[in-house]
Amino acid sequence: MHRAACAAFERTAGYWHMLPEYAQARKAIWDAVSPHSGKKRIDEAFPHELRKTTRNQEMMIEFKNGSTWQVVGSDNFNSLVGSTPAGIVYSEWALANPEARGYLRPIVAENNGWQMFITTPRGRNHAHRTLMAAMKSPGSFGQILSAEETSVFSAAQLDAEKQAYIEEYGEEIGLAKFEQEYLCSFEAANLGAILARQIGQLEKAGRIGSHVEFDPLGAPLQISSDIGRADSSTWWFWQPKVGGYSVIDYAGGFGIDADAWCDKLEEKLAGYKLEGGKSALGKIWLPHDARAKTFAAKHSAVEIFAKRFGTDLVQITPDSKKKDRVNAARVLIRRVEFSDKCERGLEGLRAWAYEWDAERKIFSLEPKHDWASHDGDGFSYGAIIMNMVQPPAEEPELIWAARGLPDGTIRTATLDDLWRRSKKQERI
């Protein structure tokens, strides 16, 4: 905030301080009081002598030189498009909707402005990727500063904090929370995460990457989704394969209507053809709320999709409880591999989590509703569908049996085993 105050007088322009949620921004920044001085944080950073007006409703300060500074939320960044900030501070970037940066980056670039990302880690999600890029990109700067590398806390205080976390949350959760909050560890467990650990295991097993491709000789694609008219939408492209499923593509976006999504899906599907040039589309599965109509649209989403792709290729996902979908996703992901085209969706799955209730010391019964929940819902709907669309069975391995062993037993081996054991013969 102090840096933004200096920037506002170095260059007359607009500046934003963005938190993950608009309501959170008012509480954490606009109305927050510094425990060290007893003053409001905005009064410390932006003295009244510098201001022309202070607009409480908009959480905006206009300075005497014409610059402005405003507190905003990444949960409604689409309403901000059209503004021209020269500087944006993304606070708690690991918890923010990563699409906000994609929407706003061209505006900052056009204004020859700057972006700053400050955050506590939440596993290896988009914030980690932003940090790694900043560390190796010319003209950028990235740094990790743990509590052990600053003078804010003594070693004794950190030990006391660690013990307090363990006593309050238990050994496993307490240590993870301490390492995350004080040591800035990206390896610490993301508390309440639903699929982050399993995705980490898939990465170690080499089941995420560019080698996961669409098989033109395989089964048609099943597309699962979670959609919203003025909210985030997500689409997962599944292909059943022998022994499991390949998720070969992903699409996601904010504030896109059903007709525009039809265009986007058609564009993606054009890149996938089954043998003989046949369409790769099996079915598009829409959630139950796709049946709903609004005053803004004459037709429901399912009607729009059915008109574009055909009624036989558009279905509504079977009704199920959210907890059942979550369990289905946890079980099915062990049999899944992901293309690197799904990187943005995987970030959402890593961040998909239950919310911790600090007062009751328990996690919520349902996943937290935030930007990541759309990716999680779309994937979990797919898990329900994939349990219906069974993958091809594995072909039995050919076995050769040898009799006449000294003990009278039968020894079996595959043809590959026999080939490896045999000595190569040279033809003369």
The lowest-confidence range among 76-85, 278-287, 413-422 is 413-422
CATH (one of 3.90.1150.10, 1.10.10.10, 3.10.310.30, 3.30.420.280) for 201-386: 3.30.420.280
202, 333 in Cβ contact below 8 A? Answer: yes
Predicted pLDDT of residue 415: 59
pLDDT over threshold 80, residue 135: yes
59-92 pLDDT per residue, tens = 999 999 999 999 998 887 767 766 789 999 999 9
Question: What percent of the chain clears pLDDT 90, i.e. is strictly above it?
Answer: 58
Taking Cα atoms as reference points, which of 273, 362, 285, 365 lies closest to residue 323? 365
CA dist., res. 305 & res. 310, Å (int): 7
Instruction: Spell 240-262 as b/e; 16+ CB within 10 A means b.
Output: bbeebbbbbbbbbbbbbebeebb
pLDDT over threshold 80, residue 119: yes
Write the CATH number of the domain with boundaries 2-118: 3.40.50.300
Q: Where in the chain is the domain with CATH 3.40.50.300?
A: 2-118
Q: What is the DSSP letter of 29?
A: I
Residue with the bigger pLDDT between 208 and 389: it is 208
Q: What are phi and psi of 67, to 5 degrees?
A: -70, 160
Helix, coil or strand: residue 197: helix
Predicted pLDDT of residue 299: 79
Q: Where in the chain is the domain with CATH 3.30.420.280?
A: 201-386
pLDDT over threshold 80, residue 423: no
| DSSP letters spanning 409-427 | --EEEEHHHHHHHSPPPPP
